[in-house]
A and B are shown apart, each in its own frame.
Chain A
């Protein structure tokens, strides 16, 4: 400033004068527009994830809410009944426009040329051949919600929407057509029990018989392969097969008779429904999962239906090509596979991390191995699937088959995808996660503690077991749980190593050896893919997919949350003992 007074024309002075102007920052230097773009990116990211979760949760949790049945009368006199599934606006094709009256056309033109339409789930697939019908808004003459409309969830053909025409119990018609009448409810429960019994016989008991027969048959084959045809062993096995066959025939006859008896009783109980066009349909009482009048439900009943549907979803088996019923086998499969994976991945991951951190000589080679192991976490999961199929199923499984199950060839036992190979594949996929997490945890254990332990005379293993591992436990657990979360959400590799759309049996059942590691299994993630993309009508499957998605996301989220909780808890436990 003083300089400015002494030499007003020098360049230095001009610079100083400019500098004084700089006291207020140039607006452009603040970069406000750019900041907003950056912030916009963040807000978009946050909105994307929250919007996504809301979309899934909203659809997932609303799926089981009983919907009202609308009876829609069109202007041309057609009547349909169904649940309003979704509504949207669309740009009509010229022929749709041409069918409208001039007034409606001008109304459409005013509304940007878009027309509203509603998708109704009309159900009754056996009568109509389709589950859904679109109705465009200008066509609607009236929408009513009659109290006597009934929705019936059946075992076959999907739901039915209509009215109750007649109820037959024990061959006699019942007055009142009231599905809530105590006699009807009681008869329904009995019918469902009969159905469950029939299913138990047909699947479990006859299945067990067939299994015994198969075992006897395989014994013959094994004896033949081992000792040759016509050897004493083979003849003994043949006699045994004869005995089993005879034994089975009598049992089979007994079971068939029981099923026959149950069936003939069941046939006397049925409900006759009529759709909105008065076409009748007789549904055996045993085939009705649930029937109610959605338009006349009290709030309490609505809640009841909602939770009973959730209950069915979580505990029942799928039906209707997986688009209805429950996902119990898929939940079971996912959990079994994930647990088996953990059993494999945890010890190996921890051992490897121990080796890398505590035993191997720290040098270039180990740091190279470390980087590579880290990078393996980034290798696409499908590559592990390919390896799992090629190595575990075909090479290892094929060898096991030829050594231990030659009698079943050419049908593979372990030589194809199955629960065990899926778990091994995912273990390989997730082992880097465990190794990296464990290594970090081991590295965080202070060196002084190790030295203290060794100085007290403890051996290396004693040090690791009593000092290092307990302190590293939170990190190890976190790694294992993160591995579980990753494993539970993977689908691509499973498609190659043993996941199926409908598994004939659970991997654990009452037949020796109880745990069937070679069996293919169902998986929640694959269930989503299958129902969403491979069912006859992806629209009908969509609600189911949403619920399954909620379940899968919850499972993964719970595991991730558990990782965080366990980590903080264990940290707290060891916090006091740290020095």
Chain B
């Protein structure tokens, strides 16, 4: 010590060698030190930040699911207030706002500048429109006139790519030019896009008697390209409803197109009904006629010649009139708006209790948040279940039918009058509304994930066509009309189910093996056995999944009787062997307690297997009426024997517990007899007696349990599927057992040796020491092992993907498959569109997995550290 301080202090030059060493540290060393310092600091902190960045990145991707939508800047255009707008259309790129007026004129504006454009119009030759209808995409329109005639037409605002804008085009806005008729926009890719209005009108057709006005129309196009078929339904001023069909045939020889028109009357409309709206679907097999009081007459028009009135439903309370009625895309649900501002959704569902002939009825599925004023206009999206409602107070709400949420609430500051029409842009990214005060309002909007709220993800949602609210995961299908079902619950359930059953299998085995390795075998045996068990952990899970799904699953299916029997028989064989082993004289038992005993255990395991195979037919005959699969789905046999068998282990435990206190002293003397044969036989007899009594009690108890409805069948035992949870549990056991085993064994083994010695020295047996001293001390470490094992089971992917069948069902059936969160990510993410709702939902699934495993592991780590501290103090 003294030398060191001297070395650091000033030293007289005489003591130093003649050749002086440089006192300063070489620059290169300092620089290297600095570089290393910075590299390590930056690198280290960088990696830590990167690793934690995972969570933030996942969160950042998930958040937009819940942020609703936002609207851009409002464009207001003034227009002549003289006309009543029947409909408005906005093009895909939101360059043009187009409206059809009630005299047939079409007005079009360039949205950004409000410039009016000259576009073709419909010429009605002075007839006055009294009814108007259109198809869902807004392209095909039908006008009903006061003289009882009807005209069909098309109006569209297509965008086409052209080489260049015409030379005489004048500039409108930044990238937009116009020739007065169309808008030419320069796109980013160097192309020019022309947006124009196209309108066509067909010949008038007389539907109602001359002079009777048509007051309501709806129109659908169907048929094939060669034989287009237009169907429409009309109601005239006299209250007569008609279903009509116009078929166009082109003559092969002349090329002339002839249109034939047929009509049938809809029966059963009451006299003098004041019809507000008619609706029909594209298949033309359903017609809805709604009167202003909110009563709907639903017709089955599957047979065109003989339409039948299926039901009459009152949609709105008395005193409230119906103001809007619209289909949502897919035409399975209707949106009803009332004068009281109420908005509700009805589904047409097949119901057992339906009193109608076709067995379906309109069901009130959802009541949405009401408007403050009467609902005046509705438009549904062409690509999803989004729709927009406008009310008399000037509010326009963008809603979503699945999530029932109002995504956006819009109102122009200078609003006056009443909205005539409202339209949602084709890409769900804009709103166009026209008021009778001569204003055209247009907002660009963005609501990328309107279908997800916390409620739709974690709660029950009533989807279209479903009998009631349910937890469903079904992320994609071929058509736009499909309603995506994003409930994470079935997947969370699947994960929990897989974890639960695999832990049910793995925890007893891992803990049993750990306790035995740590307390009952020689360290030399331990040195061999432990690495073998740990080897299991390094098996790639894809290998486990492959073996489980392709080798094990068919095998288990074939031998299910034996497998079930083995689950009972193998532990029983060990018990019987133990009872026999007890009869061995003490010196002999001691001599063979090492390897031979372990080998015997393995041998008994194989004997148990073989017995299970041999006895399976008898077992199945007694417990499962001879056919396990028929028994398990409830079509054969009684539950009683197997319920009794399930209860037996519990009953045996209970009986032994009761006997421990109540056995007479004379019995104890026998059991303590130095003659092991006597004592062992006595114990064996007692075991047999307990078994018999236990079985009788279980048999009686099973009857009671089944009578009060606790039948294992239909609960955790049900129809057998080849790739099921039993297989998953077993395969996952390979992944989980070594983890729990290693951690638990380490914990047990690190209990200080003096505790063990003291206990044994006081005369406790090994068993007593293990259960009363070692296990309680090591409990927290053992618990940590189980937690880490659980973390692994929750996130395991390949085994579940391969062996679980991947059906997102929610039942506890051991013999049914499941779909876990992790498997779902692996299966669906490669197909998911970047930044789409499914993509973000799968990120949410990943985030949940991350959070759950991170929390579980942290808890385990905290528990383990506490355990370490405690053992250090002991």
Please determine whether chains A and B interact with each other in the same assembly. yes
Contact across chains for B51 and A373 when beta carbons are under 8 A apart: yes
Interface size class of A (residues with CB under 8 A): 35 or more
Pairs across A and B, CB under 8 Å, 12 listed:
A26-B672, A33-B579, A40-B604, A112-B617, A351-B39, A372-B854, A381-B797, A390-B57, A390-B58, A459-B30, A461-B37, A529-B542
**Could you tell me which A residues sit within 8 Å of B by CB distance?**
21-22, 24-50, 52-53, 55-56, 88, 90-91, 112-113, 229, 347-349, 351-352, 354-356, 358-360, 369, 371-376, 378-387, 389-391, 394, 428, 431-432, 435, 455, 457, 459-462, 464-465, 485, 488-492, 495-496, 525-526, 528-529, 532-533, 538, 542, 545, 549, 552-553, 556-557, 560
**Nearest B-chain residue to A460, judged by Cβ:** B33
Contacts of B550 in A (CB 8 A): 532, 538, 542, 545
B863 to chain A, nearest CB (A): 12
Which residues of chain B come closer than 8 Å to A42, judged between CB atoms? 512-513, 516-517, 529, 533, 598, 601
A-B contact count (CB 8 A): 334
B residues within 8 A CB of A385? 825-826, 829
Do residues A489 and B512 form an inter-chain contact, with CB atoms below 8 A? Answer: no
Contacting residue for B542 out of A375, A389, A528, CB 8 A:
A528
- B538 — which chain A residues lie within 8 A by C-beta? 485, 489, 556-557, 560
Instruction: Assess the B547–A46 pair: CB atoms within 8 A.
Output: no
Contact A29 B768 (CB under 8 A): yes
Contact partners of A485 in chain B: CB under 8 A: 538
B residues near A538, Cβ cutoff 8 Å? 550
Cα–Cα distance between A29 and B683 once the two chains are bound (Å): 12
Asked if B551 is at the interface (CB within 8 A of a chain A CB), the reply is: yes
With A378-B857, A379-B853 in contact, do A41 and B512 touch (Cβ < 8 Å)? yes
Are the CB atoms of B44 and A352 closer together than 8 Å?
yes
Q: Within 8 Å CB of A50, what residues of B?
A: 532
Question: What 0/1 pattern do residues 747 to 783 of B give for CB contact below 8 A with A?
Answer: 0000000000000000111111001000000000000
Inter-chain CA distance A440–B237, complex, in Å, is: 90
B795/A383 in contact, CB under 8 A: yes
Q: Which of A27, A52, A553 contacts B683 (CB 8 A)?
A: A27
Interchain nearest-CB distance for B867 vs A (Å): 14
Q: Does B180 contact A (CB under 8 A)?
A: no
B33 close to A461 (CB less than 8 A): yes
Among candidates A24, A229, A378, A387, residue contacting B54 with C-beta atoms closer than 8 Å: A387
Interchain CB contact under 8 A, A386 and B58: yes
| Residue in contact with B672 in the complex, picked from A24, A37, A383, CB distance below 8 Å | A24
With A45-B509, A491-B798 known as contacts, the answer to whether A553 contacts B50 (CB < 8 A) is: no
- Whether B671 and A27, one on each chain, are in contact in the complex, defined by CB atoms closer than 8 angstroms, is yes
CA distance A570 to B370 in the complex (A): 76
State which of B511, B516, B822 has its C-beta within 8 Å of the C-beta of A382. Answer: B822
**Contact of B471 with A by CB under 8 A:** no
Number of interface residues of B (CB under 8 A): 119
Residues 463-522 of B contacting A (Cβ, < 8 Å)? 508-513, 515-517, 520
Contacts of A229 in B (CB 8 A): 190
Q: Which residue of A lies closest to B670 (CB)?
A: A27
Question: Does B558 sit at the interface, judged by CB under 8 A?
Answer: yes
- CB A457 to nearest CB in B, in angstroms, measures 8
Instruction: Tell me which residues across on chain A come within 8 A of B29, comparing CB atoms.
Output: 459, 461-462
Please tell me if the beta carbons of A46 and B792 are within 8 angstroms of each other in the complex.
no
Classify the interface of chain A: helix, strand, loop or mixed: helix
B677 → A minimal CB distance (Å): 11
Chain B residues in 8 Å Cβ range of A552: 540, 542-543
Residue B273 CB within 8 A of the other chain: no
A38, A459, A461, A492: the one within 8 Å of B515 (CB): A38
Also in contact, A40 and B822, with CB within 8 A (given A28-B671, A374-B861, A375-B857): no
Chain A positions within 8 Å of B511 at CB level: 41
Nearest chain A CB to B797 CB, angstrom units: 4
Nearest Cβ distance between residue B737 and chain A, in whole angstroms? 6
CB distance from B434 to the nearest CB of A (A): 38
B559-611, CB < 8 A from A? 570-571, 574-575, 577-579, 581-582, 597-598, 601-602, 604-605
Complex Cα spacing A373 to B51, Å = 8
A31 touches B43 (CB 8 A): no
Contact B43 A533 (CB under 8 A): no
> What A residues does B543 contact at CB under 8 A?
56, 525, 528, 549, 552-553
Report the bound CA distance from A496 to B832 in whole Å. 11
**Can you name the residue of chain A whose Cβ is closest to the Cβ of B593?**
A35
Residues of chain A lying within 8 A (CB to CB) of residue B515 = 38
Residue pair B672, A27 in contact (C-beta under 8 Å): yes
B contact residues around A40 at 8 Å (CB): 512, 570-571, 574, 601, 604-605
Q: How far is the CA of A488 from the CA of B462 in the complex (A)?
A: 45
Taking a contact as CB atoms under 8 Å apart, the answer to whether A31 and B768 are in contact is yes
**What are the residues of chain A within 8 A of B850 when measuring CB–CB?**
379-380, 383
- B40 CB-CB contact with A under 8 Å: yes
Determine the chain A residues whose CB is within 8 A of the CB of B825 once the complex forms.
382, 385-386, 496
B826/A495 in contact, CB under 8 A: yes
Chain A: CB-nearest residue to B35: A461
The smallest beta-carbon distance between B814 and chain A, in angstroms, is: 19
Of B190, B571, B671, B767, the residue contacting A31 (CB under 8 A) is B767
Say whether B204 faces chain A, with CB atoms less than 8 Å apart.
no
CA of A380 to CA of B763, assembled, Å: 47
- A28, B797: Cβ atoms under 8 Å? no
Q: Knowing A88-B558, A460-B33, A529-B545, say if A386 contacts B48 (CB, 8 Å).
A: no
Contacts of A386 in B (CB 8 A): 58, 825, 829, 842-843, 846
Interface digits, B702-739 against A, CB 8 Å rule (1 contact, 0 not)? 00000000000000000000000000000001100100
Inter-subunit contact A27/B680 (CB<8 Å) = yes
A39 near B601: Cβ-Cβ < 8 Å: yes
